[in-house]
A = this chain, B = another copy of it.
Amino acid sequence: MKVEVQRQVHARLMRIAGQVAGIQRMAHEDRYCVDILLQIAAVRAALDQVGKLMLGAHVETCVAEAFANGSAGERRKKTEELLEVFSRFGSVSKR
């Protein structure tokens, strides 16, 4: 990953770790379920943002490199990995 992306990923993961700690505290204090649920949804959205950031970096570097200079096998592997990531993040169930 490029240094700039890596820096952003670090900062976001640090904040996510803080949010998870906050949810642990809320659960420990037996706070209202709906408030905790909305915090969980916020962490989920934050993870999706990191995911999108990394996916962009991945496509621009690794995928681009494989398609520009890689073998047919390498290109196929990158394509399969992208679909796997798409499946796991979307609600695209695997069948």
Contacts and interface: CB of A to CB of B under 8 A. Distances in A.
Interface of A: 1, 6, 9-10, 13-14, 16-17, 20-21, 23-24, 27-28, 30, 32-34, 36-38, 40-41, 43-45, 47-52, 54-60, 62-64, 66-68, 75-76, 79, 81-93, 95
A92 B40 CA distance: 13
B37 A92 contact: no
A61 B63 CA distance: 13
B54 A89 contact: no
Q: Is the interface of A mostly helix, strand, loop or mixed?
A: helix
Copies of this chain held together in the complex: 4
A81 B34 contact: yes
A60 B28 CA distance: 20
A38 B52 CA distance: 12
A62 to B, nearest CB: 6
